[in-house]
Chains A and B, each alone.
Chain A
Amino acid sequence: MVRYDGLSEFVAARGPALLRSAFLLTGDRHLAEDLVQAALVKLAPRWRRVAAGGDPESYVRKILYHEHLNWWKRRGRHVHPSADPPEPAGHPDIADRAVRTILLGQALGRLTAKQRAMIVLRFYEDRSETETARLLGCSVGTVKSQTHRALARLRALEPGLADLLTDTEIPEVAR
């Protein structure tokens, strides 16, 4: 057990937060659980070294995001997520917070994996562009362009969310 000393406590303490990010990435409770569990299982062999470094959460989050992106790569272009929340008929009252949340979940589910990761890191976890780039292993320029594309696609997919997205523009890459 020495190998995993303290891991259970870490899982209990930070598991829920990891699940929330994973849920936003996958849009599905089962997938979120699987994703977090997979990331933690990959963390486990390195636990002692990572815990000694003092910031195991950053480490496991990096695994989490990479697992998420790898999953989509492996599944190939022709595979589509089918765990999207249902599309409501007509145009619901966007002022209703619950409806808005459902629509946001639907629209997120139709972004690419990388675009979803950008939205979650930048606007849910409030990470800087530099932090986001470090976590995803890409350049700051990629973060800017992918975030811009993700926001543009959210607007296109669900015009009713415009209110949420009005102050999210990234001028450096707007064109």
Chain B
Amino acid sequence: MSPRLHDALHELAQGAPSEVSAAQVLAGARRRRRVRLIAVPSVAATAAAAILVGATLAGGGAEPARPAAQPDRPLVTEPGKVLNPPGVLPGRLPSGKVEPIVFAFLDYCRGKSLKETTSAKGDCAQWRLVGRSGKQWRLPDAVGSRVVKPEDYMSGSAPLVVSPDGWRIAYYRAKDQRLVVRDLTSGRVTPVSARTAPAAIPLMMFSGDGTRLALSPKVDQSGRTLLVDTRTGAATALHAGTVIGLSRDASTIVQADTEDERTPLTVSGADGSVRASVPLDPEVDLRGSSGNLLSPDGRTLLTFTTSLDKAVLVDVATGKITSVRRIDGVGGAHAWTGPTTYFTTRDLSGHPDARKRGIPPRALRGVIVDLTTGKYRDVGRTFTIQTSQSAVALGGYLP
């Protein structure tokens, strides 16, 4: 053991609250007991309602954009300011053309504790979208914050992803519980043909050109891996496994078992046919990786060392490491942006008096990393939200 680390942890732990209310624990236990007694019939009724909704709204195909109703006003945030000032909500996303989206977030109604974030509901619990110009809207038809189950004391969320060019978003639509892709150049909404249960919403990844959306079941969930044509909603089944990379046009798809690198990479085409099974160099670490790791030409995977301080490039054809490059200041990757560059974020969270303000801010800035030099440059604006819990998505980093 390390006595010094133990002592430092001990000092840190002194900041903990000093007592637990036994009365609250007992009250919670009694409430939980009551909820358990009524939960079964409630859940059955909810399931029946969900089936009914599903049956009446079944069907696919793109839905044309509706004529714009009286548009709500977007919230315009000056650079450097907090995107979610208290008591102010942006208007609804217009139904027609908007502008490329560069950032999306959930702030769980700015709840200060888990109890508050768990009960987040209403307009403030919706996803909020920030456009390239700094205008901000909320997305009322998406599921945003949600309570995972009746007894759950933690809040959850339904994911949203933004395409690299910012012109498409994919999210879980509330009214019919379907994944949909919204084209922001027209407002056209295309449901994904394969249905997804609320409890099993997959990981989503856009191809570089936004024409395809890969859906991978989460590690602890079952489900098929699919490639969706974002223009039609048609889904093609892929080999089982997590999609870790799509080439720019999704003509090459790479899948892996991110929990076990001994499993070979699977390389497929857009039609789902497996082209190759490639053993991975044992030095490559895929655990915890996220984002589109495949280069636009489909030939190179971008991975990182465990400590995230070096980028490790892997030849997809051989599974061998071709290059290791030290990266200064940022770790991880969202997606490639060119033959030798990729996009990721820099965490700028924190403010000297954050604690005094009650809710700490979370701040992010996009960066482009140049693999030839290992240096990064900032792009766009800093996204700052005042929240104790958040979900965020970035996009629009390609022109």
Q: Which residues of B contact A63 (CB under 8 A)?
A: none
Shortest CB-to-CB span from B382 to chain A, Å, is 13
Known: A16-B19, A156-B307. A45 touches B29 (CB 8 A): yes
Asked whether, in the complex, the Cβ of A41 is within 8 Å of the Cβ of B25, the reply is yes
Q: Which residues of A contact B389 (CB under 8 A)?
A: 75, 79, 81-83
Residue of B nearest to A163 (CB): B4
B86 beta carbon closer than 8 Å to chain A: no
B398 beta carbon closer than 8 Å to chain A: no
Shortest CB-to-CB span from B348 to chain A, Å, is 7
Q: Which residues of A contact B65 (CB under 8 A)?
A: none
User: Which residues of B, 324-383, contact A by the 8 Å Cβ criterion?
Assistant: 331, 347-352, 354-355, 360-362
- Checking B13, B17, B114, B388 against A124 with a beta-carbon cut-off of 8 angstroms, the contacting residue is B13
Asked whether, in the complex, the Cβ of A31 is within 8 Å of the Cβ of B308, the reply is no
Chain A 34-65 near chain B by CB (<8 Å), digits 1 or 0: 11111011101100000000000000000000
Asked whether, in the complex, the Cβ of B308 is within 8 Å of the Cβ of A79, the reply is no
A-B contact count (CB 8 A): 209
How far apart sit A108 and B28, CA to CA, in the bound complex (Å)?
30
Asked whether, in the complex, the Cβ of A23 is within 8 Å of the Cβ of B20, the reply is no
- Checking A73, A75, A79, A86 against B220 with a beta-carbon cut-off of 8 angstroms, the contacting residue is A73
A97 beta carbon closer than 8 Å to chain B: yes
Asked whether, in the complex, the Cβ of B307 is within 8 Å of the Cβ of A153, the reply is yes
Asked whether, in the complex, the Cβ of B2 is within 8 Å of the Cβ of A29, the reply is no
Residue of A nearest to B149 (CB): A74
How far apart sit A75 and B309, CA to CA, in the bound complex (Å)?
26
Asked whether, in the complex, the Cβ of B391 is within 8 Å of the Cβ of A40, the reply is no
B5 beta carbon closer than 8 Å to chain A: yes
Asked whether, in the complex, the Cβ of A45 is within 8 Å of the Cβ of B33, the reply is yes
A140 beta carbon closer than 8 Å to chain B: no
Interface residue total, chain B, C-beta cutoff 8 A: 69
Q: Which residues of B contact A11 (CB under 8 A)?
A: 20-22, 25
- Checking A12, A23, A41, A165 against B13 with a beta-carbon cut-off of 8 angstroms, the contacting residue is A23
A contact patch SS:
helix
**A: contact size bracket:** 35 or more
User: Which residues of B, 6-63, contact A by the 8 Å Cβ criterion?
Assistant: 6, 8-26, 28-29, 32-33
B392 beta carbon closer than 8 Å to chain A: yes
Known: A34-B113, A40-B20. A123 touches B1 (CB 8 A): yes
B288 beta carbon closer than 8 Å to chain A: yes
User: Which residues of A, 11-36, contact B by the 8 Å Cβ criterion?
Assistant: 11-12, 15-16, 18-24, 28-36
Asked whether, in the complex, the Cβ of A124 is within 8 Å of the Cβ of B9, the reply is yes
Q: Which residues of B contact A45 (CB under 8 A)?
A: 29, 32-33
Asked whether, in the complex, the Cβ of B388 is within 8 Å of the Cβ of A78, the reply is no
Q: Which residues of A contact B385 (CB under 8 A)?
A: 82
B175 beta carbon closer than 8 Å to chain A: no
Q: Which residues of B contact A105 (CB under 8 A)?
A: 12, 15
User: Which residues of B, 101-147, contact A by the 8 Å Cβ criterion?
Assistant: 112-115
Shortest CB-to-CB span from A27 to chain B, Å, is 9
Q: Which residues of B contact A166 (CB under 8 A)?
A: 2, 4
How far apart sit A167 and B1, CA to CA, in the bound complex (Å)?
7
Q: Which residues of A contact B4 (CB under 8 A)?
A: 163-164, 166-167
How far apart sit A152 and B287, CA to CA, in the bound complex (Å)?
14
Q: Which residues of A contact B (CB under 8 A)?
A: 4, 7-8, 11-12, 15-16, 18-24, 28-38, 40-42, 44-45, 70-71, 73-88, 97, 100-101, 104-106, 108, 110, 112, 119-120, 122-124, 126, 149, 152-153, 155-156, 163-168
- Not counting A20-B16, A77-B203, a sample of 11 additional A-B residue pairs whose C-beta atoms are within 8 angstroms of each other reads A15-B19, A31-B388, A83-B388, A85-B360, A88-B352, A123-B1, A123-B9, A124-B10, A152-B307, A163-B4, A166-B2
